């Protein structure tokens, strides 16, 4: 995505709007447990940030945009997927 905005806060808000638009569009993904196509859910999307400050900015934009979000949890890197 190309995020339009004069600053990082505006670009984070554009990201939140883009995520909502993607979900509302009915974009389909392959469900990893069934192998069947299904509409994308918010939980299918991950946003990576270079800095902790970036994480806070994006999290705030997602919160303001009513997009469900979670930040890194302790022990996350100890999971098998990591």
Beta-carbon contacts of residue 77 (< 8 Å; ≥ 6 apart): none
Q: Is the CA virtual torsion 29, 31, 32, 35 positive or negative?
A: negative
List pLDDT tens digits, range 13-66. 999 999 999 999 999 999 999 999 999 999 999 999 988 889 999 999 999 999
Confidence at residue 9, expressed as pLDDT on a 0 to 100 scale = 95
- Residue 73, SS3? coil
60 neighbors 49 (Cβ within 8 angstroms): no
Q: How far is residue 52 CA from its own chain's centroid?
A: 15
Rounded to two decimals, the pTM is 0.82
Overall residue count recorded for the chain in this entry? 82
Confidence at residue 52, expressed as pLDDT on a 0 to 100 scale = 84
């Amino acid at each position: 995505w190309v995020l339009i905005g004069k600053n990082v806060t505006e670009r984070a808000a554009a990201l939140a709007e883009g995520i909502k638009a993607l979900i509302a569009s009915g974009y389909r993904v392959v469900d990893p447990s069934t192998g069947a196509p299904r509409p994308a859910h918010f939980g299918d999307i991950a946003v990576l940030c270079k800095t902790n400050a970036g994480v806070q900015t994006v999290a705030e934009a997602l919160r303001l945009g009513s997009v469900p979000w979670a930040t890194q949890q302790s022990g996350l890197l100890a999971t098998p997927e990591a």
